[in-house]
């Protein structure tokens, strides 16, 4: 029965996740070949977005890897992969501006980002302790411990759910600044940047689907065995 639940819920979600990862890599590689007319690099484009939102104390640094771009709020730094940091491609500008959008969210203390950060500590606990606690509760026939374990594990799904509006808003901020500052100038360039950001957003949708599928599977397993 456990295998059937896994095949029914988790496998389709994992397939969606793989498709989303392939999609974002294909979109990135396609638009990495299209050079922007503005001549901006990922570094200068991110700096332009920061200026547009009045954020002046964020560093922009290069980091290793591919698609490792992120904003680190603890050190207040935007880290862009080398191919994004130095590139003047449409993909590089879209990705860099998206990360600058996150920096703007933190600078404004935007409510959804604060909600997500509130959930984060519980998510870390749930990822390590949720399932073990539920299993211990099951072995001991102690239902409150099962419920606590599943509740902690559900924080992973809640975190993924809270992440979606944060990512969508960062892309919205990025595209608004790109258009206003002329970082990308043609409709083709703007459409290309949107395609990269949409593909990236689908990876977060897929992560939410995987978390939800795993939670449903666990709820069905434990509820069936307790009945």
Catalytic site includes residue 99: yes
Give residue 7's pLDDT: 81
Residue 2: pLDDT over 80: no
Q: Kindly indicate the confidence band of residue 211, based on its pLDDT and cuts at 50, 70 and 90.
A: very high
Average pLDDT (52-74) is 95
What's the burial of 154, exposed, middle or buried (CB within 10 Å: 0-12/13-18/19+)? buried
Catalytic residue among 99, 179, 188, 189: 99
Q: Kindly indicate the confidence band of residue 132, based on its pLDDT and cuts at 50, 70 and 90.
A: very high
Looking at per-residue pLDDT, the higher value among 94 and 223 belongs to 94
The Cα–Cα gap between 51 and 56 comes to 7
Q: Kindly indicate the confidence band of residue 141, based on its pLDDT and cuts at 50, 70 and 90.
A: confident
The Cα–Cα gap between 160 and 122 comes to 12
Give residue 227's pLDDT: 54
Give residue 115's pLDDT: 96
Residue 88: pLDDT over 90: yes
Alpha helices in 33-140 (DSSP H): 42-52, 82-85, 90-107, 111-139
pTM of the model: 0.90
Looking at per-residue pLDDT, the higher value among 6 and 56 belongs to 56
Give residue 1's pLDDT: 47
Residue 168: pLDDT over 50: yes
């Amino acid at each position: 029965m456990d295998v059937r639940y896994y095949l029914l819920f988790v496998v389709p979600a994992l397939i969606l996740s793989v498709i989303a990862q392939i999609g974002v890599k294909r979109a990135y590689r396609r638009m990495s070949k299209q050079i922007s007319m503005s001549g901006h690099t990922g570094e200068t484009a991110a700096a332009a977005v920061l200026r547009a939102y009045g954020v002046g104390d964020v560093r922009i640094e290069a980091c290793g890897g591919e698609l490792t771009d992120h904003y680190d709020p603890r050190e207040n730094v935007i880290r862009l992969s080398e191919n994004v940091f130095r590139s003047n491609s449409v993909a590089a500008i879209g990705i860099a501006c998206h990360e600058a959008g996150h920096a703007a969210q933190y600078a404004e203390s935007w409510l959804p980002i604060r909600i997500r950060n509130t959930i984060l500590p519980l998510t870390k606990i749930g990822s390590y302790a949720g399932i073990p606690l539920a299993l211990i509760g099951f072995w001991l026939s102690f239902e409150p411990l099962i419920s606590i374990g599943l509740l902690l594990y559900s924080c992973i799904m809640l975190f993924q759910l809270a992440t979606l509006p944060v990512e969508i808003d960062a892309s919205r901020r990025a595209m608004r600044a790109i258009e206003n500052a002329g970082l990308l100038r043609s409709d083709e360039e703007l459409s290309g940047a949107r395609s990269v950001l949409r593909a990236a957003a689908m990876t977060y949708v897929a992560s939410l689907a995987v978390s939800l599928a795993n939670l449903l599977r666990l709820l069905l397993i434990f509820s069936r065995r307790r009945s």
